[in-house]
Amino acid sequence: MKLTHLALAIALAFVSTEARAERLVIKGSDTLGAKLVPQLAEQFKAQNPGATFDIAAEGSTTGIAAIIDGTAQIGMASRRAKPAEISAASAKGVNMKPTIVAYDGIAVIVNAANPIKGLTKKQVEQIFTGDITDWSAVGGSSGRISIYTRNTSSGTYSDFKELAMKKRDYAGSSQKMAGNEQIASEVGKNANGIGYVGLAYIKAGGTKVVPIDGQLPTVQSVHAKTYPYARPTFYYTNGEPTGLAKKFLDFTIGPVGQKIVTQVGFVPIQ
Amino acid sequence: MSVLTETAGLQAPRAKSAHRKGRALENVIRLFFGGNAFVAVVVLVLITLFLIREGFGFFGGNLQNLRSYRAAGLEYVDIMRTQAEAHAALSRALSEVRVREARKLAEQGRSLEEMNSALAGFDQFATSFSDAGNNLAGLVSDLGDQAIALKERAATGEPADVAALRSNYPAYEQISAATTVEINALLANPPQLSTPEAQRAFDKVKARMRTSLAEFPAEAQRLREWDPGRPVRWYESITSFLLGKEWITASFWQDWYGVIPLLAGSVMVSVVALTLAVPFGVASAVYISEIATRPEQNLIKPYIEFIAAIPSVVLGFFGIAVLGQAIRALSELPILSWVPFFPLSERLNVFTAGALLALMAVPTIFTLSEDALRNVPRAFKEASYALGANRLQTIARVIVPSSLSGIVSAILLGLGRVIGETMVVLLCAGNRIAIPDFTEGLGAFFQPVHTMTGIIAQEMGEVVQGSIHYRALFMVGLVLFFLTLLINLAAQKISARYRMSIG
């Protein structure tokens, strides 16, 4: 008797979750999809039981293509859609609508004992590509520059090439570190070190952030677009988002979502 | 179940049936062990086949990669780029000369302003020289953009037409001629430096400038003769991997998969590890088997073998947190400033990783060498003593030579362990993908390197499955596999062949 009750309850539970379960498919940029969006999704699920997510982070291009093909409700992108993509979308009757959800910034750090007061964009390019190998060439005290970068397959590795190095290759003398944490600790221990890290890691001991063209990476300078190594990141939707996609987008740009944005190391939109 | 009946059968008084059942039991046991061995062999074969299948796809992809490099004219631009980079390298050499001169002047107690005015002529020279290269650098950058656009277009199936790219040749020739004139004018009237040491360095740079100028016509010749249609042979895909000096991935320009820098890193780390581990391992084995008293043996032997129990990731953290820092602190001591490559700028380098790996190789070398020493027949030792040799003579002349093959194979097995180690080198070798600068002599052993095992661990997690980069990593794995296979084979051969005939 009791067993039948239990079975019935379980069956009911299944039916009810089945009815309430909504699936949100998100595809695109690994900058967003690696850490930020999964964390947002976790928090969102806690508030909206029954929602399920399908997140695939394979690059901005796949995110935009997924919106055009209608295979995802939200496309994550760390760049704006290209004109070719927009025209391809409108040919299919898809209206690409971008919403900025966070800013992504990369800070250049040096050892705290390094006397330099700032670098220009040109100098950063020259240092990381190996055109300049001595600190005295950029106004520091003489010493061979040690370059620390992310490993070659990290998203930030190529983002930095694009933002700061005119897509040139890193110097052969650069050292590939496992993550932000290790870059910060090596730069903190090496008086001639230079590296770049996400904004969440700029408070590591023994390091200091270098102003680029006089600009420090702060929430203000990123918003004012005066800091060069930052860019907006987007959710692309087909027209105005509806249903669960709208709820998730509102959650992302709402106060709770933006708090997570800050924790993960991005710059919030306001 | 059947085993139970077997035992029951064995206890039964009828001997014949017990005998038959005993054979059946034997068969079961044989099947059990044979089956397990068979499964192990099958699994090994499957793994090898999988490695080869995943890896060999690399060559096709790499050939495609090399072909598009030529067809889209990237190769053409790179000829010019070599020249532009040679110029940039000379500019850097000039700034190094300046640093040297400035340091000497500072030692003489000059103030910053005096120094700057003394160096004004040199600065003028260096700036003019650097500016002389700007036009070429600009041209290379423009042509690079064009070539990349061609490559992207070729990827969509359109034929790449490099005629537009080559139409820039007259511009190149003009720039090249103008640069030659400018540099010759500079060289005709070089500034003088006050310290002889800096002047010598400067003279060297000037000589390099002249040779680089003399190479301009050859570069132009190569540009004229460059042919986008020249076929890329199939074996170039293999040689560019096995002999390639560059490992550049995720590049906007061109990916290169050359295993040499990684191989060099692995070999150098192993050399350091063995140099440290062999004396420790072999000497302690000799001590334990020949000299030590029983309580000493009971203390030292398990202790050394216990080192093998330390997880390599723990050793790696120890290397980052303690050893690397200690080595750098040591190199900064004023007493050691006579060492040419001190102070060290990188705490994570070949030596740090090698020293830790030595720690991992010592137990292997120690245990196996000790076995080899113990296997020397007692009669040898007794004969030696009987002839009046003392203990040291016996060890050096009789015991060690007669167990040499065992010791050598112990060392080779230690090498196999070292070269395949991943975690320590990933954390402590510094991960710089470049062949160390051997002109620094022993200093090369204090430079960061990347290793074959390290690169697989670092990049495998993030590459797209089935891509050429993914397959390249499998190829690195295969190279590593064959290397360890060879080492192990050599160890077996040596111990089998050169065993002193005993008895």
For A97-163, give the secondary structure using H, E and C. EEEEEEEEEEEEEEECCCCCCCECHHHHHHHHHCCCCEHHHHCCCCCECEEEEECCCCHHHHHHHHH
Question: Which of B146, B152, B432 should we substitute to test contact with A (largest number of A Cβ atoms within 10 Å)?
Answer: B432
Which band of pLDDT confidence, cut at 50, 70 and 90, is reported for residue B9? very low
Identify the weakest region by mean pLDDT among A209-223, B153-167, B263-277. B153-167
* Mean pLDDT computed over B435-446: 89
Please tell me the distance from the alpha carbon of residue B127 to that of residue B443, in angstroms, as a whole number: 32
Pairing of strands B256-257, A22-28: unpaired
**pLDDT tens digits along B116-131:** 788 888 888 988 888 8
Q: What percent of chain B has pLDDT over 70?
A: 95
Does any CB of chain B come closer than 8 Å to the CB of residue A174?
A: yes
Nearest to residue A134, comparing CAs of A143, A147, A121? Answer: A143
Q: What tokens were used for A84?
A: 């070719």
Of all helices (H) and strands (E), which one includes residue B188? helix B169-188
Average pLDDT over residues B219-232: 89
Report pLDDT for B8. Answer: 47
- Amino acid found at B188: A
Task: Judge contact between A161 and A149, C-beta under 8 A.
Answer: no
Q: How far apart are CA B197 and CA B107, in angstroms?
A: 13
pLDDT of B431 higher than 70: yes
Nearest residue on chain B to A137, alpha-carbon basis: B95
Range B269-297 average pLDDT: 94
Residue B140: other Cβ atoms inside 10 A = 21
Contact check, Cβ <8 Å, A176/B141: no
Minimal Cβ distance to B325: which of A162, A169, A189: A189
Least confident of A125-129, B11-15, B276-280, B464-468: B11-15
Q: What is the rounded end-to-end Cα distance, in angstroms, of chain A?
A: 59
The SS3 assignment for B186 reads helix
% of chain A exceeding 70 in pLDDT: 91
- Is the pLDDT reported for residue A1 higher than 50? no
Per-residue model confidence (pLDDT) at position B298: 93
- What does the pLDDT read at residue A5? 59
pLDDT exceeds cutoff 70 at B87: yes
Q: Which residues contact B2 (CB under 8 A, 6 or more apart)?
A: B24, B28
Complex ipTM more than 0.90, yes or no: no
C-alpha distance from A236 to closest chain B C-alpha (Å): 24
Other Cβ atoms closer than 10 A to A178: 15
pLDDT in the model for residue B5: 45
Least confident of A106-120, B14-28, B195-209, B243-257: B14-28
Put simply, the answer to whether B252 touches A153 (Cβ < 8 Å) is: no
Q: Tell me: the pLDDT tens digits for B365-380?
A: 999 999 999 989 899 9
CB distance B92–A168 less than 8 Å?
no
In DSSP notation, B327-368 reads HHHHHT-GGGTTSTTPSPS-SSSHHHHHHHHHHHHHHHHHHH
Mutate to test the interface with B, among A153, A156, A183, A194 (most CBs of B within 10 A): A153
Choosing among B127, B141, B252, which should be mutated to test the A contact, i.e. which has the most A CBs within 10 A? B252
Examine the pLDDT at B183 and tell me if it is beyond 50. yes
What residues of B are in contact with residue A161 (Cβ under 8 Å)?
252
**Considering CB atoms only, which of A162, A166, A175 is closest to B448?**
A175
Tell me how close the Cα of B99 comes to any Cα of chain A, in angstroms: 7
Strand A74-77 and strand A230-238: the pairing is antiparallel
pLDDT at B228: 86
- pLDDT value of residue B15: 65
* Least confident interval from A21-30, B195-204, B436-445, B461-470: B461-470
Q: What is the model's pLDDT at position A236?
A: 93
pTM of the shown model: 0.78
Provide the shortest C-alpha distance from residue A148 to chain B (in Å): 9
Q: Is the pLDDT of residue B414 over 90?
A: yes
**Contact residues, chain B, for A194 at CB < 8 Å:** none
Q: Which of B95, B432, B461 sits opposite A175 (nearest CB)?
A: B432
* Residue B209 clears pLDDT 50, i.e. is over it: yes
d(CA B58, CA B237): 9
Q: What is the reported pLDDT for A7?
A: 54
**Beta-bridge partner residues of A28:** A57, A76
Listed range (B4-18, B224-238, B289-303) with the worst mean pLDDT: B4-18
CB hemisphere CA count around B116 (13 angstroms): 3
User: What percent of chain A is helix, strand and coil (3-state, nearest 5)?
Assistant: 45, 25, 35
Mean pLDDT value of segment A81-85: 79
Helix (H, G, I), strand (E, B) or coil at A252: helix
CA–CA min distance A162, chain B (Å): 9
Residues of A in contact with B252 (CB under 8 A): 158, 161-162, 167-169
The answer on pLDDT for B13 being more than 70 is no
| A136/B248 CB distance under 8 A | no
Residue B196 has pLDDT above 90, yes or no: no
Q: Between the CA atoms of B416, B419, B420 and B422, what dihedral angle is there, to the nearest 10 degrees?
A: 150
Residue A197 scores a pLDDT above 90:
no
Mean pLDDT of chain A: 84
Look at B141 and A137 and tell me if their CB atoms are within 8 Å.
Answer: no
Q: Which residues of B touch A139 (CB under 8 A)?
A: none
- For residue B147, what pLDDT is reported? 87
| B253: helix, strand or coil | coil
Say which DSSP state B187 is in: H
Residue B7 is predicted with a pLDDT of: 47
Give the integer Cα–Cα distance in Å for B475 and B497.
32
> What's the average model confidence in pLDDT over B324-341?
88
Burial-class residue B226 by CB neighbours within 10 Å (0-12, 13-18, 19+). Answer: middle
CA distance A130 to chain B (A): 9
pLDDT (0 to 100) of residue B14: 61
Q: Would the CB atoms of A162 and B430 count as touching at under 8 Å?
A: no
Write the DSSP symbol of residue B444: G
Q: Do A151 and B431 touch (CB under 8 A)?
A: yes
Closest by Cβ to B432, choosing from A133, A173, A189 = A173
Write down the pLDDT at residue A6. Answer: 52
- What was the pLDDT predicted at A99? 92
Interface of A with B in 136-155 (CB under 8 A): 136-137, 142-144, 146, 151-154
Range with top average pLDDT, A151-160, B7-16, B393-402: B393-402
Contacts of B469 in chain A (CB under 8 A): 153
**Number of H-type helices and E-type strands within chain B:** 23, 2
Judging contacts by C-beta atoms under 8 Å, the chain A residues touching residue B106 are none
Q: Which of A240-244, B16-20, B427-431 has the weakest average pLDDT?
A: B16-20
How many residues are present in chain B? 503
Higher-pLDDT residue of B356, A84: B356
Phi, psi of A106 (to 5 degrees): -120, 125
Q: Residue A20: its pLDDT value, please? A: 53
Most B CBs within 10 A among A142, A146, A157, hence the mutation to make, goes to A142
- Tell me how far apart the alpha carbons of residues B59 and B471 are, in angstroms, rounded to a whole number: 9
Task: Give the mean model confidence (pLDDT) for residues B188-217.
Answer: 89
Interface A–B counts its CB contacts (< 8 A) at 79
Q: Which residue of B has its CA nearest to A176?
A: B431
Residue A13 has pLDDT above 70, yes or no: no
Quote the pLDDT of residue B278.
Answer: 96
pLDDT recorded at residue B272: 96
CB contact under 8 A, B99 and A153: no
Q: Nearest-5° angle of CA A204, CA A207, CA A208? A: 110
Least-confidence region, from B92-101, B214-223, B231-240, B297-306: B92-101
Instruction: Provide the 3-class DSSP secondary structure of residue A24.
Output: strand
What percent of chain B lies above the pLDDT cut of 90? 48
User: On the CB side of B323, how many CA atoms lie within 13 Å of its CA?
Assistant: 22
Mean pLDDT of A131-157: 82
> Over chain B, what is the mean pLDDT?
88
